[in-house]
Structure 1
Amino acid sequence: MLSPNLAMSTMAMCATLLLFLLCSPSVAILLTRLQLPSPVMGPESVAFDRNGGGPYVSVSDGRILKYVGPAEGFKEYAYTSPNRNKTICDGLTDFSELQATCGRPLGLRFNHQTGELYVADAYFGLIKIGPNGGAPTQYSQGIHPQEKENSTTFPFLDGLDIDVNTGIVYYTEASSNYRFKDIEALRGSRDMSGSLYSLDPSTNETRVLMRGLALASGVAVSRDGSFVLVSEYLANRIQRFWLKGPRANSSDLFLQLTGRPDNIWRNPRGEFLVAVNGLIGPSPPRRPAIIPGGVRVSENGLILRIMSLIQEFGSEAASEIHEHNGTIYSGSMQASYIPISTII
């Protein structure tokens, strides 16, 4: 007879397998890989500008790179550290001590009305890049409860999205107890110090929308602006915070998952694409095996499609799934490339 702990572990493993392997997930046909300049890694988020240019990706040495074509590949578009030194920063890989100086951009989203790129940087907070790229503008973000008075930074920002109708930026603080360099410890913890915020650039007003989140990562605004979604990586769920209507300023459960949800991206049809990674095997400190994938979800929280990204990333976690002109561009913190695939 199985012990209670072993039985529970087996059930959890089976549930993950059922979601990713037995539910006839959509097959991704890998078309090509866009290679990052070595030794840069970690294209965590993907974005396209209002003219369809890109993809733009956030990478490990503090830069945002733009893909300009097969002949030239990725070129520097912008950076997040206000005093970035190219000599010490270019080519930096994740978890270097220098990342706190060079920056680590994570979430990317363009405001297609203004052409400005907003960036959630793990060390430098909420950043705005002008339509022509280059140097960053760092937003004041209010006083963090665990920081000194008049502080303008958060310990670990992660994801963001923009309501293009209002210009309001929604962004997540993964944790107020951990920094990006401690992300493996955070993933193995029971931390619930994450938060969801909004910033109105026209007034510079910051609002706290939700607290007590279990590693808040991805965020996406609904097509009509009535609600915003936030993923909780450690809780295997996505919560919905209502912005308008009779339930305004309240939250509810949008979707419970068996895998770990990361970034959320909304397509023009109002559907949400969520990177979701199944975990199989031992718990931390030993690293579990990962099944990278994702789901396409309706505005009402109905799963429309399950996607496997094993061909794209092997056993490395997917961080974002972005659809552009019918093609899928995927991000991963562990990859040195952006895979381009089509889902059938």
Structure 2
Amino acid sequence: MTSNIAVIIGILISLILYSSSIVAYCRLLDRLYLPSPLTGPESLAFNSIGEGPYTGVSDGRILKYDEECSCFLEFAHISSDRDNTMCNGISDFSELQETCGRPMGLSFDYNTGELYIADAYYGLVKVPYDGGAATQLVANNLQGNPFGFLAGVDVDPSTGIVYFTEASSRYKIRDLQKLLRRKDHTGSLFRYDPSTNETTLLLSNLTEAFGVAVSNDGSFVLVSEYKANRIRRFWLTGANAYTSDIFLRLPGRPDNIRRNSRNEFWVAVNYPFASSPPPVPPVLPLGLRVNAEGLIIESVPLVEAFSTESVSEVQESEGRLYATSLSDNYATILKL
């Protein structure tokens, strides 16, 4: 772990000095803009044949990018009795999101074609392969209390078991800035089995559990703890099954985690430099590619993509790198 921290500190220094052996400066290819005035493509997902990206937006809808029109079109919506007049076009952190929904993490089950969504207000929901209204699956924690807000979700590609995170049981997403000013320890990691509709608590007392990703072989699941500057690993199989350890420590704040086809992980990380004078930005957004042993093997600076905004997610698809921010109205495509 110490060597990883040394590497990261070297990355930070090298980014300021513009030279490093493991830093990759990917070329900005395109920006996929949301329909105005929508914002906040927190997470992206691609279906089993590579269509997409799909993303959730501020007014409770899930949009799909259409190559023919080079635009996002409506695919699904969170609330089954959605009032379009009230909901369409609302911005993030509006109180109306509690009624309209606020989709955060997205992940497809490639075996069924269903899209699972961690919604900040509606809990864990799923959408059929052809879109439409979402079905609410899990709305309350194991004590029967409504979730604070859900943030991340990932589906095991082999078993279809769903892993999802509750960022905080104390705060709603509308209180996000208040949450980020505190060190909250009420986050949790859950498992949902679609074959039994059973939900299991795997980890609790997490510090802002934002991102989650299960390994390709299903042996472990990773969960990010944003304000604790670390990623925790929960073992699912083997001698260490149902125990956890620290997978990676970071001097910055990890958000979403995404698995690639090589059983590596892309981690969206934000390094705060609030007290630093120009030209150092107040936040340095990065994408880190990490192997299954928790070693950083590539770092991609995302200042060109997001300037000083925080990055929410980085993921790889068909030779391209996609990055998103909850603060912006577009998804960024970079050449790997």
Same fold (TM over 0.5): yes
**Superposed CA offset, 1:217-247 (max 9, x none):** 1000011100000000000000000000110
Moved over 4 A (4+): 141-144
**Superposed CA offset, 1:79-134 (max 9, x none):** 11222111111111101111111110000000011100000000000000000000
Report the equivalent of 2:258: 265
Does 2:13 correspond to 1:18?
yes
Report the equivalent of 2:215: 222
Q: Is the 8 A contact 2:123 2:140 kept in 1?
A: no
Report the equivalent of 1:277: 270
Report the equivalent of 1:326: 319
Superposed counterparts of 1:78-97, under 5 Å: 78-97=76-95
Q: Is the 8 A contact 1:237 1:257 kept in 2?
A: yes
Report the equivalent of 1:30: 28
Q: Is the 8 A contact 1:173 1:217 kept in 2?
A: yes
Report the equivalent of 2:108: 110
- Kindly, what percent of the aligned residue pairs are identical? 52
1:282, CA displacement in angstroms?
Answer: 4.6
SS at match of 2:227: helix
Report the equivalent of 1:179: 172
Report the equivalent of 1:202: 195
The alpha-carbon distance between structure 1 residues 161 and 143, as it changes in their structure 2 partners (threshold 3 A), is closer
Say which of 126, 133, 136 aligns to 1:128: 126
Count how many residue pairs are aligned between Structure 1 and Structure 2.
322
Task: Tell me which amino acid in the other structure corresponds to 1:64.
Answer: I
SS at match of 1:139: strand
The alpha-carbon distance between structure 1 residues 84 and 302, as it changes in their structure 2 partners (threshold 3 A), is same
Could you tell me how far apart the structure 2 residues matched to 1:239 and 1:20 are? 26
SS at match of 2:168: coil
**Superposed CA offset, 1:239-259 (max 9, x none):** 000000110010000000111
Could you tell me how far apart the structure 1 residues matched to 2:304 and 2:39 are? 18
Could you tell me how far apart the structure 2 residues matched to 1:225 and 1:264 are? 15
What are the ranges of 5 or more consecutive residues in structure 2 without an aligned counterpart? Answer: 1-8
Q: Is the 8 A contact 1:294 1:306 kept in 2?
A: yes
SS at match of 1:296: strand
Report the equivalent of 2:291: 298
Report the equivalent of 2:59: 61
1:301, CA displacement in angstroms?
Answer: 0.4
Does 2:301 correspond to 1:308?
yes
> Is the deviation greater in 213-222 or in 133-142?
133-142
Could you tell me how far apart the structure 2 residues matched to 1:294 and 1:229 are? 16
Q: Is the 8 A contact 1:16 1:280 kept in 2?
A: no
Say which of 98, 101, 115 aligns to 2:99: 101
Task: Tell me which amino acid in the other structure corresponds to 2:25.
Answer: V
Could you tell me how far apart the structure 1 residues matched to 2:137 and 2:15 are? 40
Task: Tell me which amino acid in the other structure corresponds to 1:181.
Answer: R
Could you tell me how far apart the structure 2 residues matched to 1:338 and 1:243 are? 33
Q: Is the 8 A contact 1:15 1:258 kept in 2?
A: no
1:20, CA displacement in angstroms?
Answer: 4.7
Could you tell me how far apart the structure 2 residues matched to 1:76 and 1:52 are? 18
Task: Tell me which amino acid in the other structure corresponds to 1:17.
Answer: L
The alpha-carbon distance between structure 1 residues 20 and 137, as it changes in their structure 2 partners (threshold 3 A), is farther
Report the equivalent of 2:3: none
What are the ranges of 5 or more consecutive residues in structure 1 without an aligned counterpart? Answer: 1-13
Normalised to the residue count of structure 2, the TM-score between the two structures is 0.92
Say which of 72, 75, 78 aligns to 1:77: 75
The alpha-carbon distance between structure 1 residues 20 and 139, as it changes in their structure 2 partners (threshold 3 A), is farther
Normalised to the residue count of structure 1, the TM-score between the two structures is 0.90
1:154, CA displacement in angstroms?
Answer: 1.0
Report the equivalent of 2:229: 236
Report the equivalent of 1:248: 241
Could you tell me how far apart the structure 1 residues matched to 2:68 and 2:275 are? 41
